[in-house]
A and B are shown apart, each in its own frame.
Chain A
C-alpha cells in the first residue's frame, strides 16, 4: 500500500472553476501535512500547511480528516497561473535531531484553460 496517494489527473478546468484535489495517507501516526506546488520544469515550493481545523489562504482552502486519513485542497476561481502539479506531502516519522521525514505524493496535474 502506497504511503501517500493522489489522483494523478490531469485535471483540465476552465478559468473561474472550482477544483478539488484529495490525497490519502496510510500511516495513522502521521504528524504534519502540506501542499506543495511544482511548475513545469521547476522545483517544488510550499503552497500551504494543512492544519487540523482546516485553513484558508485566499482562493485556496486545505482540509484534514484524520479519521479517514485524507487531506484536500480546494481552489476557487481558478486562474491560468494556477496550472501546475500539486504535491501532497506528509510528515511520517521522526528521524532524529528534530528532523521529520517528509513523504511526497506523486502529484496531481492541473491545467486551467481559457
Chain B
C-alpha cells in the first residue's frame, strides 16, 4: 500500500522561527499536496505540486512556501511562524492518471506556535 510519511507527529515552535515540515511518499506519485485542518474550517489547501519543481498556490498560501526538488519529497516552509499557523498539517499524494484520483494522506503534523 502507499505510504506517505510526515517527519513529525507533534511540533512546538516559537513565533518568528522558520519551520520545515517534510513529507515523503513511496509510490512515485506525481501530485503532492499540503493541507491544514482546523476545527470548524475543515481541510484547506495550502499548496500543491503536480511534478518535480512545479508548484501551485492553493486556497491559503499566504505565509507559506513549498519545495519539490525530488519527486518523492514535498516540503512545506513557514518562513516566520505565527500563532495563527497553529494547526494540523496534512500532506497527501496522488497519481496523476485521470482515473485514479484517490488521495493518500500522511498521519499529520500537529504544529503549535507559541
**Interface, chain A (partner B; CB < 8 A):** 32, 34, 36, 42-46, 49, 87, 91, 95-107
Q: How far is the CA of A56 from the CA of B43 in the complex (A)?
A: 26
**Are B107 and A43 in touch, CB under 8 angstroms?**
yes
Q: How large is the interface on B (under 10, 10 to 19, 20 to 34, 35 or more residues)?
A: 20 to 34
Do B48 and A104 touch (CB < 8 A)? no
Q: A98-B30, A99-B96, A104-B42 are in contact. Are A91 and B101 (CB under 8 A)?
A: yes
* Cβ contact within 8 Å between B42 and A107: yes
Contact residues in B for A99 (Cβ distance below 8 Å): 30-31, 48, 50, 94, 96
Complex interface bits, B17-41 against A, C-beta within 8 A gives 1, otherwise 0 = 0000000000000110001000011
Contacts from B to A (Cβ < 8 Å): 30-31, 35, 40-43, 45, 48, 50-51, 54, 56, 58, 90, 94, 96-98, 101-103, 105-108
Q: Tell me the complex Cα distance, A46–B31, Å.
A: 16
